Structure 1
Amino acid sequence: MQTLDSSVSAMSDRPFTIAGKTFNSRLMTGTGKYPSLEVMQRSIAASGCEIVTVAVRRVQTQAPGHEGLAEAIDWGKIWMLPNTAGCQTAEEAIRVARLGREMAKLLGQEDNNFVKLEVIPDPKYLLPDPIGTLQAAEQLVKEGFAVLPYINADPLLAKHLEEAGCVTVMPLGSPIGSGQGLRNAANIQIIIENSGIPVVVDAGIGAPSEATLAMEMGADALLINSAIALAKNPVAMAQAMGLATQAGRLAHLSGRIPAKAYATASSPLTGLINV
């Protein structure tokens, strides 16, 4: 995968660290909805990501499309992010998180205590339950999990989750798989400005331009699945999303010019030739 020139990327960027573990890539991807395991493998490689989320319940039950998934990824190179997808209550999510930690251990990641926390009782819009998410997060933190909660773009909830000990917050840009982009940009910006933990924009991104915009806003990372897996060419889209993530981060560090209501000449007005 193409990477940024070292002389440029060496700008004083802080490492991307979650719960004491540092990653080079700021893009996370998923494992669902790909046309085949082979396309999934190639897409993960093309994206340059180092964190891949896995739906614990679907892998455990060998749901259609998930047979052999756990064995298809080199977990020596990719950090597993077990998720509690399909859980409608805090109690369900806590049980599935425990299964996810055991699954990571069985696949060789003995020290992996990460969990992407999803509590989603809404079948139509797949919006996360804020109360159930906070309840589950508080319990899982007590049990030693590094909790990455998926939430609506609610700045107050994000702060409560940070205070509860979560290691990131993951606000949605728009509903899961909708491809609507950053419909919650204003609230995400508030979360970024007030967060003392990494902010990972998760769900709704449909195009690389939207990925870049999220990173330009100051997000620490992105999680993108549907936009890659359901693209006409998932492998090419995975590479595009990886590059967009890098470009957006570099743009954020560079500092854009202020927007003005009037034009400003790009050429100096001094030393002009008289004609």
Structure 2
Amino acid sequence: MQTLDKPLSQTDTLTIAGRTFQSRLMTGTGKYRNFEQMRQSIVASGCEIVTVAVRRVQTHAPGHEGLAEALDWTKLWMLPNTAGCQTAEEAIRVARLGREMAKLLGQEDNNFVKLEVIPDSKYLLPDPIGTLEAAEQLVKEGFAVLPYINADPLLAKRLELVGCATVMPLGSPIGSGQGLRNAANIQIIIENASVPVVIDAGIGTPSEAAQGMELGADALLINTAIAQAQDPVKMATAMGMATDAGRLAYLAGRIPVKAYASASSPQTGTITS
């Protein structure tokens, strides 16, 4: 049996805005039952990029008090996000706060921001116009912008053209666990993108995580499916393994889909009576 000389994560790295990561799974910090469960889950997932909701930390929202100090930021890369912002103006302001927060925690060169502009409180769908407006301004200010968007191929290309470091199409609504409802559009985005494509939101199971990577996504961002699982640490482990498995399957190249059977045993040279 042929084996890899090195783990996949050492031979197939992810690069965003010039920074290289071994893991292709990003995780969040929200919705966990307690900080210890969060810490153990993040370690178990193998992730290196962790999102932090800037507004919730700044305002000491319930469950977020002391969050910034709860993790070892010498081993993890903070991805401040603008969750809770309903307009481009709000998101720009919060992104600036996030960059300062990263600096205070020792990441002086961290200019990453996960851009979310979400005026809709029921379905939590991102505002495409506000997202594009905020992205243009933040890129001008030197941010590496990772925008959260609906699975809209045209918007994804526009965001890439204004200088975003990635595009992050949703698989289905945040926290819904509906899986990849937008797989066809995500596939179009992947085929046309020249920046990393990160599937963000909606993934509920490891099989869905693997499916996303098999489509050719560069990475996944998973929060609720891990944090709200009955055993978050086990689910985090499974999601990390599924991300690697899906990526390896994509690199291996699947067989073509056929409308008819194809025998796996040879039809010539067989023993006859």
Query: Is the TM value for this pair above 0.5?
Result: yes
Corresponding position of 1:27: 25
CA contact (8 A) 2:9 2:23 kept: no
The number of equivalent residue pairs is 271
Rate the CA distance shift 1:60–1:10 in 2: closer, same or farther, 3 A.
Answer: closer
Please state how far the C-alpha of 1:261 moved relative to its aligned partner.
1.3
- What does residue range 175-214 of structure 1 map to in structure 2 within 5 Å? 175-214=173-212
Match of 2:252 among 254, 264, 267: 254
* CA deviations over 1:103-159 (Å, ceiling 9, x no partner): 000000000000000000001000000000000000000000000000000000000
CA drift of 1:62 comes to 1.2
CA–CA separation in structure 2 for the residues paired with 1:176 and 1:193:
24
1:149-175 CA distance string (max 9 Å, x none): 000000000000000000000000000
Partner letter of residue 201 of structure 1?
I
Note closer, same or farther for the CA distance 1:8–1:105 as it changes in structure 2 (3 Å cut). Answer: closer
Gaps of 5+ in 1: none
C-alpha distance in 2 between matches for 1:6 and 1:146: 33
Map of 1:221 onto structure 2: 219
Equivalent residue in structure 1 for 2:59, among 58, 61, 79: 61
Identity of aligned residues (%): 79
RMSD: 1.3
Does structure 1 conserve the Cα–Cα contact (< 8 Å) formed by 2:53 and 2:80? yes
Q: Which runs of 5+ in 2 are unaligned?
A: none
Given residue 225 of structure 2, which amino acid in structure 1 is its aligned partner? Answer: A
Correspondence 1:149-164 to 2 at 5 A: 149-164=147-162
Q: How does 1:73-92 map to 2 (within 5 A)?
A: 73-92=71-90
Equivalent residue, structure 2, for 1:271: 269
Q: CA deviation at 1:29?
A: 0.1
CA 1:194–1:13 in structure 2 vs 1: closer, same or farther (change >3 Å)?
farther
1:15 CA displacement: 2.7
TM-score (norm 2): 0.97
User: Counterparts of 1:38-57 in structure 2 under 5 Å?
Assistant: 38-57=36-55
Q: 1:10 to 1:239 in 2, by over 3 A?
A: closer
Residue 273 of structure 1: CA displacement? 1.1
Helix, strand or coil: the match of 2:69?
A: helix
Q: Tell me the TM-score normalised to structure 1 length.
A: 0.96
Whether the 8 Å contact between 2:171 and 2:182 is mirrored in structure 1 is: yes
Matched-pair contact (CA < 8 Å) for 2:115–2:145: yes
Task: Provide, for residues 19-40 of structure 1, a one-character-per-residue CA deviation record: whole Å limited to 9, x for no partner.
Answer: 0000000000000000100000
How far the C-alpha of 1:7 sits from its partner, in A, is 2.5
Aligned AA (1:251): A
Deviating beyond 2 angstroms after TM superposition, the runs of 4 or more aligned structure 1 residues are: 5-15
Deviation at 1:262, TM superposition (A): 1.3
Q: What is the one-letter code of the residue matched to 1:56?
A: V
Q: 8 Å contact 1:13–1:253 — kept in the other structure?
A: no
One-letter code aligned to 1:81: L
Compared CA separation, residues 44 and 10, structure 1 to 2 (3 A):
closer
Aligned position for 1:139: 137
**1:243 corresponds to which of 236, 241, 262:** 241
